[in-house]
Chains A and B, each alone.
Chain A
Amino acid sequence: MSALLKLKKINLKYQTGKENISVLKDIDLIIKKKETVSVVGESGSGKTSLIMLIGGLERPTSGKIIFQDQEITNINEDEVSEIRKKNIGIIFQSFYLIPNYTAFENVALTLELNKFKNPEKEAKLLLERFGLKHRFNNLPSQLSGGEQQRVAIARAIAMKPELILADEPTGNLDTENSIMISDILFEYVKEEGSSLIMVTHDPKLANKAKRKIKIKDGKIK
């Protein structure tokens, strides 16, 4: 399998007052196409920072990020948005659905943004696939946590991204819903051939991935 993503000597530092905090140190990482990777580590080890960098939501202090053979480290925000829009789907621990959009509209928004010909139809198909046919027109506040996360996954995978970034996707869910969500996610990447980078504290979920990366004090162990 060829490489989808390469991180070369990535460092991330934050300036807080006069103090420099080194969050990530000399990270070298290659993610292959269709690969599933879990990222584990203690709180504050730099897991979330790593996927923020990969998603182009943060810029590294030094080093290079190459996505699909294109260096994205120094391109402008709009160009990063363009890459993210087409190729990267993000799933958050707190779901982050747009509160005044229905489940269906939250998914359709991504499709419309990517100029799909029939976004409404696609959005409905996706929600049906995740067992949410009866929830099309419900607002996020009318959905359970598990349902909200299923809508969030549908939104993230709507344009069939090459890479899915998931930050503690089951962190806010009970055991039953956690199992359902992880099953949906892994089934999807298997079927569609996407790559998955997933941050998690759940060892069972972490073990579902082909590769497990442990981060400690900003370094890959």
Chain B
Amino acid sequence: MEKLNNPSEFNLIFKYALKDLSRNYQKISSIIVTLFISLFILSAIFTIEDSLKKELNDNAKVLLGGDLEIDYNRNQGNLDLVNKVKEFATISQMIEFSTMLSTTGRTKNKSLFTRIKTVDEKYPLYGEIIYEPEGAYERIQKEPNTILINESLSKTLNIKINEKVKVQDQNFTVIGFIKSVPDVSGFVAFGDWALAGKQTLEILKLNGIGSFLNYEYKVKFNSNDDPEKIEKRIQNIFKDDQKVKLRYPKNSASGLKRIINNFSQFLSLVSISAMLIAGIGIANTLLSFINQNNMSIAVRKAIGFYSGNIKTLYYLQLLILLFIITVISYGSSFLIVPVADKYLSDGLGLNVYPAFSFINFIKIFLVGLLVLIIFSIPTISSIDQVKASNLFRNVFQNLQFYYSKRSIALSFILLSILVLLFTIGSEKPSYSLGYFGAFFICLIVFFLLSKLIIFFLKKFKSSSNISLKVSIKNITQTKSITPITIMSLGLGVTLLLTLAMVGTNFQREIAKSIPDIAPDYFFVGIQKGEREKFEQGVLDMDPKANIEIVPMVSSGIVKINGVNPNTYIKPDNDSYWVIGSERRSSWVENVPEDNPILKGEWWDLSNPNQLQISLDAKVAKDFNIELGDIFTLNIYGREIDGKIVNFREVDYRDLSINFAMLFNPQFAKNIPHEYLATAKFNNTDQFDETQMLEILPSLSMIKISDYLNKVTAVLNKVFIAVTLISAVTIVIGLIVISSAIMVQGKVKEYQNLVFKILGFSKKEIIFSSIIEFLLIFFSVILIAIFFAVIGSKFIMENIFELVWKFDLKVLFNLGLSIGIVTLILIMLTNLKYLNPKVYPLIRNQ
């Protein structure tokens, strides 16, 4: 017989790894299932996020509506400068504004606050408008007083084609419906809106701030021109114009991108938690599998396999398995994209398509690999404990997790890489880091809890109940699985309760009625001379209506302490909107009831000629503003310095009148202004919007319940995502718990056999299992509730910026349900160990 001279040992191990895997995959089915579920969720999140970003990036010009956007906000802007650009590029002008749109000729006409976009013949410069019927879009340019409305508006007001609608004092004919427009980045993506020809603006009386006017010029470069050079040329033209904002495709849909990043960060973190919990399950199942193969490992050692080779054999099996599962789960994640596309096209007007990303695939594989290795190190290291000499003794050696200093250090390094992988590049790295920190604190607390339970139960010896004695012995025995059960159960239950509480809070937010403090209506566009007319009009319809009316002025922050405000904040900050465009501000004599002062003093009456500013405390914090800092504001073209004198707590969620900046009335009362009003009616039915529009045709009314319905629609979609991921965590958690029981399967079988021989009844064995579970579960659930309360409160208030409320009933019901389901699962898993066959066990078969 000839021996091979240089055969690779690796090839041999690889061959046997494949062989073993092909024959043992059923025994490790729970590893396959948990790994698939967790990797599939991760893949789905990555794929959808990537597809969305790709869609946004690929269509950046379409979303922006041009190669560049010249935004003059509510002014027409400097047309001389715009005309200079026209000399070398194509320009499409568009004006957006908000006003009331009402039905006509019905017994009871309805009105709706609508965003109208007026466009010229060149619109759109990129992309296409989808509308019906054919030719309708062309008609709005040629025929005055024609309009196209979106599907939401047509449904809400039940408007048919050729029906007349009223906008201010003008009648328009609805000549078609729009399904989508390409440039959604700066336009309302959902809600009620309409498209009209450029002449519309001349027909209507549109006033300043109340109409939320916005002038934009979309620019398309000639195809032969170098885009960079043209951009620079345009920047040069507008370099001295402080009112203009130039936008580029790379900045298009930045708000949308931020929302996507925030939401995908949340989902990614939940999915990695699910993966880490799955990791515990994988470790358990693997240990159980290695215990089942204990004899094969001993035989391999007896015939000359090195321990290292055998370990490599198992690692290779895991690696092969991981690769196959990653391919399948990543591939399957593409099936989710059409579902996401349905939601996104309905909600945001965006279409997403499956996009393969090699980097994402590698990232998912790497995450799976790290989790798999971290959790299999102590399991596979237990192979070192297998002794070939056991084969002579007919002894069953129940293996336990094995930790050496080296393996602990390696696990720590791999874990750090995993944490960094999810932290670096995330929208809010500090949140990710905090999340992982909280996860590992939970892990440590549950480990310590297990030690505490074992310590106290060891002291408890005075029971005469045999089932209780057995269950305490099971929990406290040397090398018991109590710590691993408590850690996996604890983490699973914590994550479940946290997500469930986030879900129920979401549900409550969706279902809850309008906040008590919130008015029924917001009114904008009340001119200075119309105040009395407005108040009288409202009171005529409902004499008991509670009206709040405040002055309103539009201003832009030009400088902070003499420098560009952009140096104070990054565009991705939550408070960037304050300088993003002109803001509405107001002035009041006294501190608003729902806006308490957190720092500083109210107006300094001794200094009426100085503009004093009361600032939203969160904005102040995000901008790092101190009391006494100076804001230079542009108010009607005039630059005025204002001193920050106090910070207020502003909660925009109460839906009452709230402003980021309030001015001292002694200074501001002479500034030209209009009014913003709210009204809370004794009976909302008494208020007739159409009648009000007859009194003040340019008035805009926003019904809070309509607004909330739109928010509810968005929240419902978020709730579906949270519920889905909770369901996945439930499945993973249950697999983990059952895997923890499987770890001690053989021992349990032996134990039950001995009990059987000794004369224990099945009832007593089952009863001891129940007691064992209850002792562990009650300790776990209390800690889990504590962590879940903190976690869900943080997620609701900081990530989703919604109200969190403690709900004992929900917690009790959830805790009880989890307990019952877990107990049933434990009993089912234990069932197969209840009737051990005596002969094979005694004969070590």
Contacts and interface: CB of A to CB of B under 8 A. Distances in A.
User: Real complex partners, A and B?
Assistant: yes
Given A100-B23, A117-B2, A81 B305 contact: yes
A55 B296 CA distance: 18
A217 interface: no
A94 B7 contact: no
Contact of A114 (B3, B388, B394, B844): B3
B712 interface: no
B2 to A, nearest CB: 4
Contact of B306 (A57, A58, A78, A114): A78
A52 B299 CA distance: 13
A81 B299 contact: no
B3 A90 contact: no
B13 to A, nearest CB: 10
B298 A109 contact: no
B79 interface: no
A113 B24 contact: no
A77 B4 contact: no
B3 A52 contact: no
B108 interface: no
Contacts of A57: 301-302, 387-389, 392
B7 A115 contact: yes
Interface string A89-107: 0101110111110000100
A166 to B, nearest CB: 11
A113 B392 contact: no
A81 B304 contact: yes
A116 B4 contact: yes
A51 to B, nearest CB: 7
A122 B1 contact: yes
Nearest to B27: A100
B16 interface: yes
B295 interface: yes
Given A52-B392, A94-B844, A96-B295, A86 B1 contact: no
A10 to B, nearest CB: 15
Contacts of A90: 302-303, 391
Given A85-B303, A155-B303, A94 B1 contact: no
A98 B299 contact: yes
Interface residues of B, number: 33
A145 to B, nearest CB: 11
Given A57-B388, A96-B295, A109 B3 contact: no
B12 interface: yes
Contacts of A93: 392, 394
B308 interface: yes
A138 B389 CA distance: 27
B4 A98 contact: no
A200 interface: no
Nearest to B16: A109
A179 to B, nearest CB: 22
Contacts of A112: 12, 15
A57 B307 CA distance: 13
A82 B296 CA distance: 18
Nearest to A47: B392
B389 A86 contact: no
B763 interface: no
B106 interface: no
A93 B391 CA distance: 9
Given A57-B389, A94-B394, A84 B304 contact: yes
Interface of A: 48, 51-52, 55, 57-58, 77-78, 81-82, 84-86, 90, 92-94, 96-100, 105, 109-110, 112-118, 122, 155-156, 167
Interface of B: 1-4, 7, 12, 15-16, 19-20, 23-24, 295-296, 298-308, 387-389, 391-394, 844
13 contacts: A55-B388, A84-B302, A85-B303, A96-B295, A96-B299, A96-B391, A98-B300, A99-B295, A100-B24, A113-B304, A115-B4, A115-B7, A116-B1
